[in-house]
Amino acid sequence: MIITNEQLDLARNGQVVRVSTDSGELVILNAATYDKIARLVTDDPRDAYQSVLNAWDAEGSLDDATIYQDLA
């Protein structure tokens, strides 16, 4: 795999760079971008409850929301 200076410059400037290897496709990104993504990804499903509630269908009831809040 060869990474060009142009690809490195893109990564340094916050762009995500995809490169192909014999074993598959890889993504190169700068540490600040990685840190932002890492904060969004979690192994604890309770961290997603508020997002689920925010996206809840307009037809949803407050009782449905209470069930999710009780699980948090």
Q: What's the pTM value of the predicted model, to 2 decimals? A: 0.49
Residue-by-residue pLDDT tens, the chain, 72 positions: 788 999 999 999 988 899 988 999 999 999 988 888 887 777 777 777 777 777 766 556 666 556 655 555
| Maximum Cα–Cα distance across the chain | 56
Q: With CA atoms as reference, report the closest residue to 67 among 49, 43, 48, 51.
A: 49
Alpha carbon 16 to chain centroid, angstroms: 13
CB 10, CB 17: distance < 8 Å:
yes
